[in-house]
Amino acid sequence: SQVATMVIVRQQCPDISVPTVYAYVPTRDNAVGLPFSDISYTEGVDMHGAPWEALPLGTKLIGVRNFARIVAQLHFRATGSIYFK
């Protein structure tokens, strides 16, 4: 689901920084013997927890508005999880 979501967001919103998915194997039937994904590194700041809490309210509002603008660009035909067929 995570890999499929990254691929779709990257397709629908090319201006959003999303890692490139180079390879994805959801089964153990491979040389590694485990499901795996190979994705590019994307520079960014983890805003979970303390970094977010330390921001001034005005900065948080800007962040929430920017996130809402990104989410509004995404369009899906149905609700639920995203998976490859």
What is residue 42's predicted lDDT score, i.e. its pLDDT?
87
What is residue 14's predicted lDDT score, i.e. its pLDDT?
83
For residue 54, tell me if it sits in a domain: yes
For residue 29, tell me if it sits in a domain: yes
What residue numbers bound the domain in which 43 lies? 2-72
Q: Which one-letter DSSP state was computed for residue 52?
A: H
For residue 20, tell me if it sits in a domain: yes
For residue 50, tell me if it sits in a domain: yes
pLDDT tens sequence across 40-82 = 998 887 778 778 889 999 999 999 999 899 888 888 888 888 8
User: CA-CA-CA-CA torsion for 38, 84, 17, 69, nearest 10 degrees?
Assistant: -160
For residue 46, tell me if it sits in a domain: yes
pTM over 0.75: no
For residue 61, tell me if it sits in a domain: yes
For residue 80, tell me if it sits in a domain: no
Cα–Cα distance measured from residue 68 to residue 41, given in angstroms and rounded to the nearest whole number = 24
Domain count, the chain: 1
| Nearest Cα to Cα of residue 66 among 28, 26, 19, 17 | 17
What is residue 34's predicted lDDT score, i.e. its pLDDT?
96
